[in-house]
Amino acid sequence: MKIRLIAMSMVTALMLSACASTERSEEVATAAPPPPPPGAVPGSVAADRDGDGIVDGYYSADGIYHPNLPPAPPPPPPPPTRRGERG
């Protein structure tokens, strides 16, 4: 039984090795990817368009730049009331 198993595995290995290709297929040269948009941070969708090191927006999947909006300023203080001390 062991001899049959060993012989069967050797025949299988021999048959599979006949299918192996010894020729090296030449790799097809692919075109280089397009250059990143101006200010793009490599490896992410973030963008630093003014070059100061702070991310100021991002690029969407279709290549459109979306700026990060600054936070809204606080509301102005309420006007003084007419009630109170009179002089």
Express each pLDDT in 36-76 by its tens digit: 777 777 777 788 877 777 788 888 878 788 888 877 889 99
- The rounded mean pLDDT for the chain is 78
52 lies in some domain: yes
Which residues constitute the domain of residue 54? 39-70
Q: Which burial class, exposed, middle or buried, applies to 13 when counting CB atoms under 10 A from its CB (0-12, 13-18, 19+)?
A: exposed
Of 27 and 68, the structure prediction assigns the larger pLDDT to 68
pLDDT at 22: 64
pTM to 2 decimals? 0.38
29 lies in some domain: no
Is the model's pLDDT at 7 over the cut of 80? yes
8 lies in some domain: no
E strand map for the chain: 46-47, 57-59, 65-67
31 lies in some domain: no
pLDDT at 56: 84
What is the count of structural domains for the chain?
1
33 lies in some domain: no
